[in-house]
Amino acid sequence: MGLRKNPNNMNQKIFIKTFGCQMNEYDSNRIFDSVKKIGYEKTEKYEEANCYLLNTCHIRDKAKEKVYSEIGRVKKIFRSKKKPLVIIAGCVAQAENQEMLKREPYIDLVIGPQAYHKINDTILNYTEKKKKKIEETEFDAVSKFNYLSKIKNEAGKVSSFLTIQEGCDKFCHFCVVPYTRGPEYSRPFKQILDEAKYLVDSGAKEIILLGQNVNAYDNEGYRLSDLILNIEKLHDVKRVRYTTSHPKDMTEDLIEVYKTSKKLMPLVHLPVQSGSNKILESMNRKHTIEEYLSTFDKLKEINPKIEFSSDFIISYPGEEDQDFKDTLNLIERVKFINSYSFIFSPRPGTVAENLDLVEKKISIERLQKIQNILFENQIQLNKSLEDKVVDVLVENLTDDQSKTFGRSEHMTSVIFNGKSSDIGKIVKVRIKDSNRNSLFGEIVTNSNQKVA
Ligand code: SF4
């Protein structure tokens, strides 16, 4: 696709609001890289925007209604100003498409995640020709990534996302992703390596490989394990991570990588959703708890420092006390860290949409119980690091510029007394204090210190 420039769009400002997951964050960055070519600058002040883009997420409850109430807010802000171009992108755009334009005339364009390569032409067609409202929601992942891979990331972030895979063929009964992001698609191996090099050339030290089923990656026989081993060969890459994985796709080659890789971090985000085989089956998760634990045991044997994080759906329809206890037992066994838990809420169009809900009071009690345990695990892990030395990849200065911020190998925030010249380096930090979310420490200059 050729790039068109429109002098009318020069010095236009775009405000992008992103909801949801890291894939949406990655997409928002790529959308901006693209619209820059037709003259848009980014603004963090929505009131000065000529274009207001909402990159939406369909995972959370009442996603659609949140979009309309956000548009209501924008309308108020711009009541006495020139109306901005209003674009709805992301999974709600994909799911609702034409309906959004009918229901809310303030919206100008609706563009789904597989049509982002067309965003410049879509904007220009609309603004130049004052064409009627446009909705672009066809699935065309191949063209999208062919186009987006030619865009150079200039954000220069120390930790950079790189989407390698999109979509899902698994159809868990609670999830909208197979409908909003389409079937599983793996980007060409070489295209990903080229993009990784671009990111590293522009300052990235950590590459986080993204996909809705990142470990289902398969391009002409190349698997996620091949990508990890090739990306870590780039000299300036210090750390590699991947998310989000499906337990069924934790193949032997990926497990083996934990033996050979020098830069793959020892935190595995492997959503299990429930500790009960009965519930896993009714969710259509396609694996058992025994299989999950087998992966856990194998990885722990390779490296006892590996920790697991997960997502949990509490009170999925049919969850009885025993099923909930099974989830508690699993948490006790695995000692998950950095995990997320939510009460089930139905998504339109999914198999679980019309199932009978667990009583609200019971659900709230279960959620509180599980969160208390997960938080306590996190507190204990962080406490166990006090007076130990951890490796920290330094990302930036804190907002008041008085400290430095980085992340441990397990992704925990670390705040310490570094310098701006430490940004992009791995430094050793002695932990002095901690809370649930963060570690606080002092940089260590003596390299004889024992590392946790
Ligand atoms: S594996 Fe299940 S939860 Fe994950 S994206 Fe696919 S359908 Fe959704």
Per-residue H/E/C for the chain: CCCCCCHHHCCEEEEEEECCCHHHHHHHHHHHHHHHHHCEEECCCHHHCCEEEEEECCCCCCHHHHHHHHHHHHHHHCCCCCCCEEEEEEHHHHHHCHHHHHHCCCCCEEECHHHHHHHHHHHHHHHHHCCCCEEECCCCHHHHHHHHCCCCCCCCCCEEEEECEECCCCCCCCCCHHHHCCCCEECCHHHHHHHHHHHHHCCCCEEEEECCCHHHCEECCEEHHHHHHHHCCCCCCCEEEEECCCHHHCCHHHHHHHHHCCCECCEEECCCECCCHHHHHHHCCCCCHHHHHHHHHHHHHHCCCCEEECEEEECCCCCCHHHHHHHHHHHHHHCCCCCEEEECCCCCCCHHHHCCCCCHHHHHHHHHHHHHHHHHHHHHHHHHCCCCEEEEEEEEECCCCCCEEEECCCCCEEEECCCHHHCCCEEEEEEEEECCCEEEEEECCCCCCCEC
Asked if pLDDT for residue 446 goes beyond 70, the answer is: no
Asked whether residue 245 falls in the same domain as residue 318, the answer is no
The amino acid present at 232, given as its one-letter code, is E
Domain assignment of residue 1, yes or no? no
The rounded percent of the chain whose pLDDT value lies above 90 is 66
On whether the CB atoms of residues 226 and 258 are closer than 8 A, the answer is: no
Confidence of residue 113 (pLDDT cuts 50, 70, 90): confident
Q: Is residue 452 part of a domain?
A: no
Higher pLDDT, 229 or 62: 229
Q: What is the CATH number of the domain that holds 60?
A: 3.40.50.12160
| Residue 284: domain span | 275-384
In a domain, 341, yes or no: yes
Residue 49 lies in a domain: yes
- The CATH number for 287's domain is 3.30.750.200
Q: Are 375 and 436 in contact (CB under 8 A)?
A: yes
Cα–Cα distance for residue pair 288/296, rounded to 1 Å: 13
pLDDT (tens digit, 9 = 90+) per residue, 251-297? Answer: 999 999 999 999 999 999 999 999 999 999 999 999 999 999 999 99
Domain annotation covers residue 65: yes
Tell me, in angstroms, the distance from the centre of ligand 1 to residue 170's CA: 6
Distance from the alpha carbon of residue 6 to the mean position of ligand 1, in angstroms: 40
pLDDT tens per residue across span 298-340: 999 999 999 999 999 999 999 999 999 999 999 999 999 989 9
pLDDT for the residue numbered 206 = 97
Do 190 and 245 share a domain, yes or no? yes
Of ligand 1's listed atoms, the one at least distance from the Cα of 273 is 3
Contact indicator for 72, 39 with CB cutoff of 8 Å: no
Q: Which atom of ligand 1 is nearest to the CA of 176?
A: 8
The verdict on residue 270 lying in a domain is no
- Residue to substitute in 163, 212, 272, 351 for testing ligand 1 pocket (most ligand atoms within 8 angstroms of CB): 212
Do 24 and 84 belong together in one domain? yes
Classify residue 219: in a domain, yes or no.
yes
Report residues whose beta carbon is within 6 angstroms of any ligand 1 atom: 168, 170-172, 175, 177-178, 212-213, 246
Distance from the alpha carbon of residue 177 to the mean position of ligand 1, in angstroms: 6
**Could you report the per-residue pLDDT of 166-198, keeping only the tens digit for each?**
999 999 999 988 888 889 999 999 999 999 998
Which ligand 1 atom sits nearest the alpha carbon of residue 175? 8
Residue 414 CB-half CA count within 13 A: 33
Give yes or no: residues 239 and 284 share one domain. Answer: no
* 110-136: average pLDDT: 81
Phi and psi at residue 13, in whole multiples of 5°?
-115, 135
What's 427's domain CATH number? 2.40.50.140
* pLDDT score of 424 more than 70: yes
Where does a domain end: 232, 265, 298? 265
Confidence category of residue 9, pLDDT binned at 50, 70, 90:
low
Ligand 1 atom at minimum distance from 212 CA: 5
Mean pLDDT, range 425-430, rounded to an integer: 97
Domain boundary among 265, 300, 320: 265
Summary mean pLDDT of the chain: 90
CA distance 429 to 36: 39
- Residue 102, CA atoms < 13 Å, CB-side half-sphere: 4
Residue minimizing CA distance to atom 1 of ligand 1: 170
The answer to whether residues 369 and 327 belong to one domain is yes
Q: Kindly state whether residues 184 and 256 are assigned to the same domain.
A: yes
Dihedral (CA of 423, 426, 428, 431) sign: positive
How many domains does the chain fold into? 4
* 213 and 303 in a common domain: no
321 and 291 belong to one structural domain: yes
Residues 321 and 376 in one domain: yes
Q: Does 449 reside within a domain?
A: no
Same-domain check for residues 63 and 128: yes
Chain segment 31-52, per-residue pLDDT in tens: 998 898 898 999 998 888 999 9
133 shares its domain with 221: no
Q: Which residues contact 363 (CB under 8 A, 6 or more apart)?
A: 314, 315, 343, 344, 357
| Of 78, 108, 140, the domain-final residue | 140
Task: Give the residue, out of 170, 244, 274, with the most ligand 1 atoms within 8 A of its beta carbon, to mutate for a pocket test.
Answer: 170
Cα dist. 151→29, 160, 195, 344 in Å? 11, 15, 9, 39
Mutate to test the pocket of ligand 1, among 246, 279, 280, 342 (most ligand atoms within 8 A of CB): 246
Does 401 lie in the same domain as 364? no
